[in-house]
Amino acid sequence: MADAFPVSVVGAGIAGTWTALLLAEAGLSVDLYERGDDTLARATSHWAGGMLAPDCESDGAEPAVIRLGQRSITLWREHLAETPMAGSLVVSHPRDRADLARFTRQTSGHESVDAARIAELEPVLAGRFASGLFFPDEGHVEPRIVLPALRRQLQARGGRIHFGQDVEPATLGGTVVDCRGLGARAALPELRGVKGETVLVETREIALHRPVRLIHPRWPLYVIPRAEGRFLIGATSIESEDASGVSVRSALELMTAAYTLHPGFGEARIVEIGTALRPSFPDHAPRIEVDGARISVNGLYRHGFLLAPALAEIVTDYVVSGRRDNEVMRWS
């Protein structure tokens, strides 16, 4: 095991939390600094869907996203054995058949499903869709449950967490990992925010076992089951950095998507309407940038939960043994 030399991690979103945890597991003395409180309500991670879907994301995502995503799923399961791995179901309305055919060609790791198989996977959707795709090797997590769970593991490994600390990484000594998301924009001029909007609803009339995606010409719309009869409906993807609110149009589109998935959503109670900005580089791929003892992990875009464990592992390997991953690491 490495000597317990000190490392500071700035930002306790999903990137910083996983990085701090794996550094602590490697035997380092870790301090995690977060400017917000433990609700993380200002972090993008607080608002995410939490899908771990490397195969569904293979339509258009960089190859690194698929590779790191598959590794991350293993790490999620090693650390949180209860991580649901029930796969993802993709369905489409007959009018969107051409889009389903395109999605089928552009993704891998799926099996085609007919109405009977859809009903077997999700009984509540029986008779509603004639065809779709099932991605069996995918999972999902609930951000507001797994972030505190990972923090407890970090503390059990001796890591220290400091909420309410607005920290400029350049002012810290020693090895520093900057996981500030969009808070690092001044240091990363190419970074931008991509707006995502969601609606959280509650109903006891519907039960889903896995995220269900609805093929949509503009956005990958999905409904993710949460604890206690809740469902997250997401998500728009808009080139805007205005995170001050959700437009009526977006809310209508999201709720209509859920209603067309199952009319029972029409009676659901709206719990929350949310929006956040995904930290993104122009190529939508994540980057680990190394500048001496300062390491930045950013650009997780719409894949933060999918990628954070594997990126944290790469950072830890580099800090502990100098090993490099040339696909995602860059040097200043």
Ligand X SMILES: Cc1cc2nc3c(=O)[nH]c(=O)nc-3n(C[C@H](O)[C@H](O)[C@H](O)COP(=O)(O)OP(=O)(O)OC[C@H]3O[C@@H](n4cnc5c(N)ncnc54)[C@H](O)[C@@H]3O)c2cc1C
Instruction: Find the shortest distance in angstroms from Cβ 47 to ligand X.
Output: 5
Q: Which is nearer to ligand X, 76 or 131 (CB)?
A: 76
**In this structure, are residues 306 and 57 in contact, taking their beta carbons and an 8 Å threshold?**
yes
The reply to whether 181 sits near ligand X by the rule CB under 6 A is yes
- Residue 287: left (phi > 0), alpha (psi -120 to 50), or beta? beta
**In this structure, are residues 84 and 139 in contact, taking their beta carbons and an 8 Å threshold?**
yes
Q: How far apart are CA 18 and CA 308, in angstroms?
A: 6
Q: Which is nearer to ligand X, 226 or 302 (CB)?
A: 302
H-state helical runs in the chain: 14-25, 63-79, 97-106, 115-121, 143-156, 248-261, 304-321
The reply to whether 309 sits near ligand X by the rule CB under 6 A is no
| 199: phi then psi, degrees, rounded to nearest 5 | -130, 130
The reply to whether 312 sits near ligand X by the rule CB under 6 A is no
The reply to whether 49 sits near ligand X by the rule CB under 6 A is yes
| Three state DSSP letters for 67-129 | HHHHHHHHHHHHHCCCCCCCCEEEECCHHHHHHHHHHHHHCCCCEEEEHHHHHHHCHHHCCCC
The reply to whether 48 sits near ligand X by the rule CB under 6 A is yes
**Would you give the binding string for ligand X spanning residues 225-264, x where CB under 6 A is met?**
---------xx-----------------------------
The reply to whether 213 sits near ligand X by the rule CB under 6 A is no
Q: List the interface residues with ligand X, window 263-302 (CB under 6 A).
A: 276, 278-279, 300-302
Q: How far apart are CA 299 and CA 281, in angstroms?
A: 5
The reply to whether 305 sits near ligand X by the rule CB under 6 A is yes
Q: For ligand X, which residue of 92, 175, 198, 316 counts as binding (CB under 6 A)?
A: 198
Q: List the interface residues with ligand X, window 3-22 (CB under 6 A).
A: 10-16
The reply to whether 43 sits near ligand X by the rule CB under 6 A is yes
**In this structure, are residues 331 and 213 in contact, taking their beta carbons and an 8 Å threshold?**
no
Q: Which is nearer to ligand X, 129 or 301 (CB)?
A: 301
Q: Which is nearer to ligand X, 39 or 112 (CB)?
A: 39
Q: For ligand X, which residue of 24, 30, 32, 42 counts as binding (CB under 6 A)?
A: 42
Q: How many CA atoms lie within 13 A of 329 on its CB side?
A: 21
The reply to whether 159 sits near ligand X by the rule CB under 6 A is no
Q: Which is nearer to ligand X, 100 or 141 (CB)?
A: 141
In the chain, how many H helices and how many E strands?
A: 7, 17
Q: Which is nearer to ligand X, 34 or 313 (CB)?
A: 34
Q: How far apart are CA 109 and CA 111, in angstroms?
A: 7
Q: Which is nearer to ligand X, 132 or 183 (CB)?
A: 183
Instruction: Find the shortest distance in angstroms from Cβ 53 to ligand X.
Output: 7
Residues within the interface to ligand X (CB under 6 A):
10-16, 33-36, 40, 42-45, 47-51, 165-167, 179-181, 183, 196, 198, 234-235, 276, 278-279, 300-306
